[in-house]
């Protein structure tokens, strides 16, 4: 399994940020893991051009469940693919919270992504209140069952565990907590899609940074990271890429 370092720029970045893409590629021309950046959709085509000839993959942060039509302001998976994307993040907790995205909608989007030739990076994660109530595994198990298409394979799915309370807060779960959830996700995914689950990359996301990446990547069933804030700077994301390459 080729591990995956994925960056999520969220609603950050303009054409000037392409310098970070170039710096990342220059510093890591041949990393020992797959490298993915998901900039705002406005930058995918330019970032793809900047990354031409390199191993850096581009991705979107969301797509519509329909292939085309009267959906003002939305983007289809095929449009992202056309702009140069190979992946699309789906069901991020910020989409679930800000836009009321349900598991059923994320499931429909994931099917649309695969149909268009994109690999969905499906996100699941509990809130702090849910963790405190002892509901973590029940919540993420239900999100997985509802969001992941049953026909998914190792080539058509990446799954990201992102505890909501760890996103952008500087707080991370203990390594034991990450280990518990990732082992659970592997089992639950096996129940849902069968033996293919063994090859699906399980990413951890939530305040991953150069200083904690190495210890997180040593946790069993952590096959990479989904990185927000620390992906905005080539030096920080590059350090995480290096840590994953060495894991």
Interacting residues toward ligand PGA by CB under 6 A? 8, 162, 167-168, 205-208, 226-230
Instruction: Name the residue nearer to ligand PGA (CB basis): 88 or 226.
Output: 226
Instruction: Name the residue nearer to ligand PGA (CB basis): 78 or 185.
Output: 185
The DSSP result for 17-33, as a single string, is: GHHHHHHHHHH-SS-SS
Q: Give the span between the Cα atoms of 7 and 100, in whole angstroms.
A: 23
Instruction: Name the residue nearer to ligand PGA (CB basis): 78 or 136.
Output: 136
Q: State yes or no: is 176 an active-site residue.
A: no
Q: Give the nearest distance from C-beta 207 to ligand PGA in angstroms.
A: 4
Q: Give the nearest distance from C-beta 56 to ligand PGA in angstroms.
A: 18
Instruction: Name the residue nearer to ligand PGA (CB basis): 78 or 200.
Output: 200
Q: Is-contact 37 22, C-beta < 8 A?
A: no
Nearest to 66 by CA among 56, 53, 75: 75
Nearest to 83 by CA among 109, 44, 56, 39: 44
Of the candidates 92, 94, 101, 126, the residue annotated as catalytic is 92
Q: Give the nearest distance from C-beta 90 to ligand PGA in angstroms.
A: 12
Instruction: Name the residue nearer to ligand PGA (CB basis): 102 or 169.
Output: 169
Q: Give the angle 67-107-176 at the CA atoms, nearest 5°.
A: 140
Q: Which helix (H) or strand (E) holds 237?
A: helix 234-246
CA separation, residue 237 to residues 10, 14, 166, 170, 240 (Å):
15, 18, 18, 16, 5
Q: State yes or no: is 92 an active-site residue.
A: yes
Of the candidates 107, 126, 162, 182, the residue annotated as catalytic is 162
Q: Give the nearest distance from C-beta 215 to ligand PGA in angstroms.
A: 16
User: Any residues with CB less than 8 A from the CB of 81 and at least 6 apart, and which?
Assistant: 116, 117, 118
Q: Give the nearest distance from C-beta 93 to ligand PGA in angstroms.
A: 7
Residue listed under structure tokens 């997985």: 144
Active site residues: 92, 162
């Amino acid at each position: 399994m080729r591990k995956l370092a994925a960056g999520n720029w969220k609603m950050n970045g303009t054409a000037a940020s392409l310098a970070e893409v170039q710096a990342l590629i220059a510093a890591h021309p041949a990393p020992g893991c797959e490298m993915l950046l998901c900039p705002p959709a406005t930058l995918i085509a330019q970032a793809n051009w900047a990354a031409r000839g390199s191993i850096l993959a581009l991705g979107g942060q969301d797509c519509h469940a329909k292939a085309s039509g009267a959906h003002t302001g939305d983007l289809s998976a095929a449009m992202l693919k056309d702009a140069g994307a190979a992946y699309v993040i789906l069901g991020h907790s910020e989409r679930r919270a800000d836009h009321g995205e349900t598991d059923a909608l994320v499931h429909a989007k994931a099917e649309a992504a695969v149909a268009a030739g994109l690999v969905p990076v499906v996100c699941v994660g509990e809130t702090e209140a849910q963790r405190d109530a002892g509901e973590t595994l029940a919540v993420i198990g239900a999100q997985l069952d509802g969001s992941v298409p049953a026909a998914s394979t190792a080539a058509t799915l990446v799954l990201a565990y992102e505890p909501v309370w760890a996103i952008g807060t500087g707080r991370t779960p203990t390594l034991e907590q990450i280990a518990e959830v990732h082992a659970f996700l592997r089992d639950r995914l096996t129940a849902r899609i069968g033996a293919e689950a063994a090859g699906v990359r399980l990413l951890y996301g939530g305040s991953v940074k150069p200083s904690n990446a190495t210890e997180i990547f040593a946790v069993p069933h952590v096959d990479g990271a989904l990185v927000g804030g620390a992906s905005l700077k080539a030096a920080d994301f590059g350090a995480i890429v290096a840590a994953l390459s060495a894991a």
